[in-house]
Amino acid sequence: MADSMTISENTKQIIRKLQQKEVTEQAIYMNLSKRVKKESDKELLQRIGQEEGYHSKIWSKYTGRNPKPQRMKVLLYSFLSIILGYTFVIKIMEKNEGISKDIYNQLAEEVPIASKIYADEQKHEHELIEMLDEERLQYVGSMVLGLNDALVELTGTLAGLSFALQNNRLVALSGLITGISATLSMASSEYLSARSEGDSNAKKSALYTGIMYIFAVILLVLPYILFPSHKYIHALVAMLFIVVLIILAFTYYISVAKDLPFKKRFIEMATISLSVAVLSFVIGILVKHFLGIDV
């Protein structure tokens, strides 16, 4: 077996980088496991962390070092797990590892055990991650329903009202009333639908639908509150920009957490929402013109 005296300096540097990664990820997994309530997921996270620690000890034989976890990285991922869930955070970690098969193959020329460690990384940890069963991801359908409906319905409503009323305060008031009413309606409909299908978690489904809906309502109405009353075009453009950002962020979240294609879903959702907005804006112009209403 090679040791720290026989391997090249370039190989040592690569191993140090790998060791630092393993130590930091061990700390992240162990930290996440402390906050996970589901016992099966807690055990899985601990097992993954133990594997990372085992790999780190192997690398220490070649580096002669025992590095500390990168504290800021551990804190960042722990914070993100609270906001976005631990499944999303773990899959992001896996995607951002930045260590390719070629690098492990290069290492294996001097350190044969690198091949085994790479196989462990690819097989055991990935298999364990696929076994995670985070509760919030069981309600992705409800989240998508709430967000999609809010974006399509409210984008159209606000765009139509923007030209019909030409007053940001009136548009914001109308949007909030419409949005809050629609939130209650959507949550109630989701609850009744889930109950009719015999879903024992109908209340949670309704809650996730309502939360996503009201979240979208607040963000979309915000430009009409922040901009002066007469700058309704500015508010409309800002609102459409926020729509795209919401779709981008949510689609990315779902694509990572559920391993779904990103580009197709983003284009589809953005096209529908923006098309409805344009159509509604035109309707607002026509209604104002033919009815002769001047607010």
Domain boundaries of the chain, sorted by first residue: 9-133, 136-291
Q: 284 pLDDT exceeds 80?
A: no
Query: What torsion do the CA atoms of 215, 220, 221, 222 make, to the nearest 10 degrees?
Result: 90
Sole residue written with tokens 């309707």:
283
3 state SS of 33: helix
pLDDT per position as a tens digit, 122-147 = 776 666 666 666 666 666 666 776 77
> How is residue 16 written in tokens?
């140090």
- pLDDT-derived band of residue 290, with 50, 70 and 90 as boundaries? low
3 state SS of 258: coil
Is-contact 81 32, C-beta < 8 A?
yes
- pLDDT-derived band of residue 173, with 50, 70 and 90 as boundaries? very high
Find the largest Cα–Cα distance for the chain.
88
3 state SS of 168: helix
Instruction: Tell whether the torsion through CA atoms of 11, 13, 17 and 23 is positive or negative.
Output: positive
Q: 1 pLDDT exceeds 70?
A: no
CA nearest to 137, candidates 208, 72, 56: 208
